[in-house]
Structure formats: C-alpha cells, structure tokens
Amino acid sequence: MADKDIRPLIAGNWKMNGLKQVSRGLARDVAERARTSRLACDVAICPPATLLSVVAEAIEGSPVALGGQDCHPEPAGAHTGDTSAEMLADIGCRYVIVGHSERRADHGETDAMVRKKAAAAHRAKLIAIVCIGETLAERDAGNTIAVVTRQLAGSVPENACAANTVIAYEPVWAIGTGRTATAAQIAEVHAKIRADGPAGVRILYGGSANAKNARDILAVPHVNGALVGGASLKADEFWTIVESCR
C-alpha cells in the first residue's frame, strides 16, 4: 500500500493533564468541530484513565475516537492501579498507546513488556499505538537507526498489521522540549520503519508537533499523522494540526 492511500491519524495524548469540567469542554469542542468538518484524517483523543468516561460521553456520536494511554498485559486480576485492554474497550476506546517514552523511562518498560501490552490491545480488538524512539545520547552517538530497529522488532507483535497497529516515532529529545527533528531526520527514521514495519501501517511523528510545524511535518515522506502532546490540550491548536492533513 502506497502512503498516499493511507488515511492519516491525528491522536491527542493528554498525558497526566485535565480535570472533569475543563476536559469535558475541550472534548466537546473537538467533537463539534469534527461533526461539522470534512475530515481528511482520523482523529483520536487519549485522556487520562480518570477522564475516559467523561470524554467518551462528550464525543459520542462524533467522528472522534477514544483512546487509552496504557494497558496491562492481562485481561483481569490482582493488579492494583492497572487497567486492562478489555476495560478500555468496554468504556468505548478504539485505540491505546503502549510503550510511550515516558512509560519506558518512568516505569522501566522494556520492549518485551511493550510487546505484551500491544498483544493485549489486539486481544481486546483495540488498535495499539506502539511508540518507539531514541534519546539524545543515542542520537548523538549515531545509534538512532539501531535503536529504532531494535525497538520495532522487540515491541511489535508478530500479528501486527495495518488494521490493528499504528507506529509512533517519537524522538525522546524532542518531546516537551520545543525541539523538533528536521525533515531529513524524520524522513530517515520513517523510511526505516516503513521498510521494516508491518505493511501499510500508519507511522505517526510524535516529537513536539504543533500548529506551526504540523503541515511541514505531515509533508515528510512516510509520515501518516501525528501523536500530539501539549498542543492537544488546546482545541484551536489541535484542530489546526488536524486541518494540516488537507
């Protein structure tokens, strides 16, 4: 499948942000824009677990999909504080992010763990957004492609395909820093993922995408959308990114 035939995805990762009242308004705002627009991409919102039901209600009946930020590998059990993929599906999720660099750093998640979580997402009929990417030290050492290749091979289940998996490339050094990888840097990594990843899978860029740089990023070869962090917390900015897919 050629990239021109792949429908882009813009996914907002709210991270650990949001209380009910403001988040409900933000989700409703995005949903209303989606209802009244001719979308050239798929749109998803991934709020914290405490807001999933609030956002699900706010976007109901709109083209906006709901996503979780993490899931446990097991469907149920004695895992205090965790949420299973089945629970996410039950509340209305279509997507779940797994292996985000902040989970890998803050919780010591390995490629093997990320792979189990992605497999759990597939088990629950969710689309796994599998995150991979290098640190600044790894890039400076010239190891970007080696790191991405290792994480891709170790984090993506064997049954992954375009229907159940999205790959998000997030250079760790560009997340929340205001720095963005150059077009050439993005193109190099996305070309490698396209060559080695599941056929036709959507490949998102996830390093500080915002309203100002989104159009240029989305024009880079093999970029099929964006995993948006801070900019997804502002409806106007997030929607500018969505409309950059036109």
Whether 79 is catalytic is: no
Work out the average pLDDT over 68-76.
98
Q: Which of 16-30, 32-46, 154-168, 172-186 has the lowest average pLDDT?
A: 172-186
Query: Residue 200: which pLDDT band, with cuts at 50, 70 and 90?
Result: very high
Tell me which H or E stretch contains 114: helix 111-123
Query: Based on the structure, what is the number of domains in the chain?
Result: 1
Catalytic residue among 100, 122, 190, 222: 100
Q: What is the pLDDT of residues 212-230, one digit of tens each?
A: 999 999 999 999 999 999 9
User: What's CA 172's distance to the chain center, in Å?
Assistant: 14
Selecting among 134, 170, 190, 222, the annotated active-site residue is 170
Mean pLDDT, the chain, integer: 96
Question: Max Cα separation, the chain?
Answer: 48
Residue 90, domain CATH:
3.20.20.70
What are the residue ranges of helices labelled H in 124-234? 136-140, 144-155, 183-196, 214-218
Q: How many CB atoms lie within 10 A of CB 172?
A: 24
Domain holding 15, by residue range, is 5-243
74 as an active site residue: the answer is no
